[in-house]
Amino acid sequence: MNDSPHTNIDVDLLSLPKCRRLPGEVISPLTYTNDIVDFDHWDHMFITNCCRSLTLYDFDGPPSTILDLGCGRGLWAIEAAKQWQGSTVVGFDIERTQPRLNVLEKSVSRRLKWVQGNLLEQLPFLPGQFDFVRMVRMGLHIPEDEWPSVLAEIARILKPHGVLEIIEEDLLFPCQSTRSHDVTPSSGQSFGSSTQGSNTVVTATSYHKSVLSLKAKNGTNTSLDSLSGTSSTSLPSVLDTKLRHPKPPDPQDHSRLQRAWEEMLYNYFLSSQPLSVLPLYLSLSFPSIRSHPPLQIPLPPNSSDKQQLTTQHSISTVQLDPATLFELRALSAQPSSEADSSARASVMTAGGSESERTMSSWACMHLARTVRTIVGCKESIWSAYERLYGEDPTPPVVRTTQQKSTSAWSDLRPSPTNPLRDYFERDWINWENDMADRTSLRGCMQAELTWNEPVGKPPDWRLWRNSLRQQDACSSRDELAEYCRSLRGFVCFKS
């Protein structure tokens, strides 16, 4: 029986050209750093702690042949070889960053192998070679039009009744939405690029085109600052007003960077919401699929929320029970949004439990991991930022004449070499400090470990937060459901 899911994904995606990528080209905006490796290790501990196992699927016995696609530094593959002493494990990655086998125990190294190659090309393995294939967080490396071919290749190398396990997350840009979204509605569509937390779906490319058309129509030069805080219903008239009376940029408004993130994904043809498209693509190659409710981590509040100081463990408005966090069930034939909603309700706790307290403390680490991933894409985001705003012949400057500077970084003056890059750096510093403030790792360590804060100069994010005007520091954002992470696992069975 085929229990493949019904989703509301646009089936026209399947008629796209099979591959826009040049043969042999590697697709990834991410620069892999040791910091990202550290968070990969934390993620490994988080998932295995929730599952109480190396896998989401509970095998009757250890699979004998295992492939870890996109293995990174090889942590999971090494752990699998250690725990499943009768199994042969292959770690596959584009980079040769795994430890040398001769530094591992012989009982592990003789059953472990590293293979280098491009996941987007034909895999160098025989048909039906593996009992179990695992792939985790590859959304930043697989263009949306190549998911079907990648999954078909995995199905080819799996044995009959073999298992594929995918853990994936949406590519969110964490930030709190402002009350007025500086976006322009458009009928154009891009693949998964939408403004998070907004009811108006806008693509990065259509936004760029609409801004250029406004310039041509009005005969004016539209700078970044003049777009801040405009309404999508009467943009031309508002633009005229903003151009005559520009306001200093809001240090908590990260919409320019968010649009650059979406533009970057669009240019790499990466879906910002792989959790929405994966059920359809998986069903093309696998007749039976199981999953769990999406794990959605709310964006922690900033430190201006006085209540946070006394309720350090009440960060998340959705409290989940880790014991049932990754409980698998067959994907329903009903629309995915309804199925997810009913399933998510079943894993909420009533409140006040130990699991609730633990879940809350995870939120800051999830945000820190998301931020570190985005930092690894900084140069790619800058390229998108430059494409979006670089055609303005009068690069924007930071205006501080109308009011006193709101932070040490808002006095940043454009350099004669690249004013736009200076503006980008100011936006970037504001966003990083905002996220560091929300992460509040010092507060977590004080609450969990009773560690006192070290003496000396306060961290940069606190200086940034303290320098904001009182009305800026207070919550002036929409009470929308904002998330810093949305994670989900899929277990697929070959017929």
User: Average pLDDT, stretch 70-96?
Assistant: 96
- Domains belonging to the chain, first-starting first, are 11-173+271-295+322-353+488-493 (3.40.50.150)
In one-letter notation, the amino acid at residue 81 is A
Decide if pLDDT at 447 tops 80: no
Secondary structure E strands in 56-144: 65-69, 88-93, 112-116, 130-136
Decide if pLDDT at 351 tops 70: no
| Least confident piece of the model among 40-44, 224-228, 428-432, 449-453 | 224-228
pLDDT range class, residue 301, cuts 50, 70, 90: confident
pTM here? 0.74
* 17-30: pLDDT as tens digits: 455 677 777 778 99
Distance CA 235, CA 397 (A): 21
Distance CA 495, CA 283 (A): 12
Six-digit token string for 315: 């960060």
Cβ–Cβ < 8 Å for 420, 389: yes
Label residues 36-71 b or e (16+ Cβ within 10 Å = b). Answer: beebbeebbebbeebbeebbbbeeeebbebbbbbbb
User: Average pLDDT, stretch 287-303?
Assistant: 90
The contacts of residue 265 (CB under 8 Å, 6+ apart) are 29, 171, 192, 193, 204, 271, 272
Distance CA 182, CA 261 (A): 15
pLDDT range class, residue 418, cuts 50, 70, 90: confident
Q: Is 468 exposed, middle or buried (0-12, 13-18, 19+ CB in 10 A)?
A: buried
Decide if pLDDT at 228 tops 60: no
Distance CA 374, CA 205 (A): 20
Mark out the alpha helices in 305-377 (DSSP H runs): 306-310, 336-345, 354-375
**Max mean pLDDT range (214-218, 243-247, 299-303):** 299-303
Percentage, residues of the chain above pLDDT 70: 60
Cβ–Cβ < 8 Å for 119, 69: yes
Decide if pLDDT at 410 tops 90: no
The pLDDT of residue 336: 46
Decide if pLDDT at 157 tops 90: yes
Going by C-alpha positions, the residue among 19, 37, 263 that lies closest to residue 143 is 19
The pLDDT of residue 133: 98
pLDDT range class, residue 99, cuts 50, 70, 90: very high
Cβ–Cβ < 8 Å for 319, 359: yes
Q: Which residues pair with 486 in a beta bridge?
A: 296
Cβ–Cβ < 8 Å for 78, 112: yes
Decide if pLDDT at 68 tops 80: yes
Distance CA 435, CA 180 (A): 21
User: Average pLDDT, stretch 129-153?
Assistant: 96
pLDDT range class, residue 192, cuts 50, 70, 90: very low
Percentage, residues of the chain above pLDDT 90: 45
In one-letter notation, the amino acid at residue 460 is D
Six-digit token string for 127: 């048909």
Cβ–Cβ < 8 Å for 17, 340: no
If you search the block for the tokens 């609730």, which residue do you land on? 356
Q: Which residues pair with 482 in a beta bridge?
A: none
The pLDDT of residue 1: 43
Mark out the alpha helices in 84-203 (DSSP H runs): 106-109, 147-157
* 326-335: pLDDT as tens digits: 889 998 544 4
Six-digit token string for 197: 């937390």
pLDDT range class, residue 439, cuts 50, 70, 90: confident
* 234-251: pLDDT as tens digits: 334 444 444 444 455 688
Distance CA 29, CA 35 (A): 16
User: Average pLDDT, stretch 173-199?
Assistant: 46
Strands 295-298 and 483-493: antiparallel
The pLDDT of residue 381: 97
The pLDDT of residue 171: 97
The pLDDT of residue 396: 45
* 356-397: pLDDT as tens digits: 434 456 888 899 999 999 999 999 999 999 999 986 544 444
Going by C-alpha positions, the residue among 168, 143, 165, 161 that lies closest to residue 18 is 143
Going by C-alpha positions, the residue among 249, 250, 217 that lies closest to residue 236 is 217
Six-digit token string for 10: 């646009």
Q: What is the mean pLDDT of the chain?
A: 73
Measured in whole angstroms, how far is the alpha carbon of residue 276 from the centre of its chain? 14
* 52-63: pLDDT as tens digits: 899 999 999 999
The pLDDT of residue 443: 58
